Chains A and B, each alone.
Chain A
Amino acid sequence: MANEKRPDPSQQFSEWITQWERSVDEFSNKLMGTDEFAKSLNQMQSMQLEFQKKMNEMMATQLANLNMPSREEVLRINEEVANLDRRLDRIERTLRQLVDHLSDASSTEKQKPSRTKTPPRTKKKPSEAS
């Protein structure tokens, strides 16, 4: 007797994606898992680094000749500004804490939950917990 089955296109598509993902990942992992691949990937990266280094040096020299800041210098200024911002935040935070402390120390204490909790007596298996 034939087993009659109605197709569920959504489920079929979902299963197909999973199979496709698995096969592509398996294939590429096999391909990339060889020493040859690792060697050529790292060689390529090394060449790219060399190129980047030379470009950076060249650009820095040219920008210096034009009396303009390099990317590094602009980034450094950006970081300094961000650091100043952080320092201001920190000062603001400290001041706020100080004001809170001075103005209403007792009520702040009251707001803190007590550190007296104990685990519930009735334990459930993790698998049973929802």
Chain B
Amino acid sequence: MSERLLSPTPGQMRDMMEKAIQRGTKGVKFINARAAEVGLTPKELIYDEGTLKLFHYLPQADEIYRIPVIIVMATTNKGYLFDLIPGQSMVEYLLQEGFDVYMIDWDPPQKREKGLRLEDYTHRFIPRCIEEVQRESGEDDVNIIGYCQGGVLSLIYASTHTDGPLQNLVCLTTPINFEEMGLTRTLSSEDHMDVDKMVDTLGIIPADFIEAGFEILRPAQKTAGQMRVWDQMWNDDFVRSYRAFNRWSEETLPLAGEYFRDCTKQLNWANGLYNGTVRVGGDVADLSNIKIPLMAVMAEHDHIATYGATKALMELVGSEDKTDLVLKGGHVSIIAGPNAVRRMWPAVNEWLGERSV
């Protein structure tokens, strides 16, 4: 059967013209606009220590779940991905669903913090924040939602603090098997990369380097995004969302050198989380030690923490009560994209709600 293209109808022509005019007028506004306003949900800083920030989001429900939840953000990016803009904010959603939400967020580490090690994050920062949450909420128990590297830190914490106050753990796109990290693995292989030289020379690994590491995985993404936003310039919601995402992706954080060295050698080269060999603060992080209920959310098209790298968690963790959820989407859209709003947030709400009383 052949296909014959007809010329556009007068209605279609009018629509195209209107969009073209709007592209012109709104495009000028877009170019001159200030940085998108993000992370607007009211919150209080309740603890800070150099690179570490602990925020408490003000409850929005009259009745809240007993156990507070702490979001542990990845160390490479700002936590407002979880609170992008009103209506596109997982934090706002959880607050409205009756959760008491805290967030461990990160600032760029200062020069004097270049010596921070992996164990500072898992054996000092997370326990310290949990103490603060316990003090602030008056509850002994806590739940954690860890995102990407934040999930890795949470897993290391959970596997080495098995008698601690952590009751439930949700890991969002958390890489476990670094053999499956694709291009990231190849480019940072120990055969080619001299991490010692890099850390010894730079002290702090610059944000540009981290950002380039992400961009190299999807080199066309930025340009394609710019073309899409031009095409959709007439669509205010699309532009608003694009500007917020764009601001977030450009705000990549530098990393403390020793921490970067630890992560490269222990997690990436030795594949320590998968092999159960990660050594932190005198402990060995063995995921089979984790017995608390665990939920793993994975993205099918994740180009950073690939599905292959994340799925291993379910086989390695010692929990009897464990749930996995594989969704269509990428590393970032799974947190704040349309499928997050439709599926991920409600699924986490339901799973965690039942276990937060």
Chain A residues in the interface with B (C-beta under 8 A): 1-10, 13-14, 17-18, 20-21, 24-25, 28-29, 32-35, 37-39, 41-43, 45-46, 49, 52-53, 72, 75-76, 79, 82-83, 86, 89-90, 93, 112-119, 123-124, 126-127, 129-130
Contact = CB atoms under 8 A, between A and B. Distances in A.
Given A4-B3, A113-B63, A119-B350, 17 more contacts: A4-B4, A5-B4, A6-B6, A9-B16, A10-B231, A17-B224, A21-B220, A24-B219, A25-B219, A28-B220, A32-B187, A38-B192, A42-B187, A49-B198, A123-B350, A129-B342, A129-B343
Contacts of B193: 38, 42
A35 B45 CA distance: 46
Interface in B36-68: 45, 48, 59, 61-66
A72 B111 contact: yes
Nearest to A7: B5
A95 B189 CA distance: 50
A26 to B, nearest CB: 10
16 contacts: A2-B3, A6-B5, A6-B9, A6-B12, A8-B12, A13-B231, A21-B224, A24-B219, A38-B187, A39-B191, A46-B194, A117-B66, A117-B98, A117-B357, A126-B343, A126-B350
A126 to B, nearest CB: 4
A127 B186 contact: no
Contacts of B326: none
A30 to B, nearest CB: 10
A127 B346 CA distance: 9
Query: For the side of the interface on B, what is the size category?
Result: 35 or more
Q: Is the interface of A mostly helix, strand, loop or mixed?
A: helix
A18 B217 CA distance: 16
A41 B12 contact: no
A38 B186 contact: yes
Contacts of B231: 10, 13-14, 17
B201 A52 contact: yes
B201 A49 contact: yes
Interface string B193-223: 1100110011000000000000011111101
Nearest to B137: A115
Nearest to B1: A3
A25 B2 CA distance: 33
B112 interface: yes
Q: Which 3 A-B pairs have the closest CB atoms?
A: A129-B346, A24-B220, A21-B224
A129 B291 CA distance: 30
B224 A113 contact: no
B282 interface: no
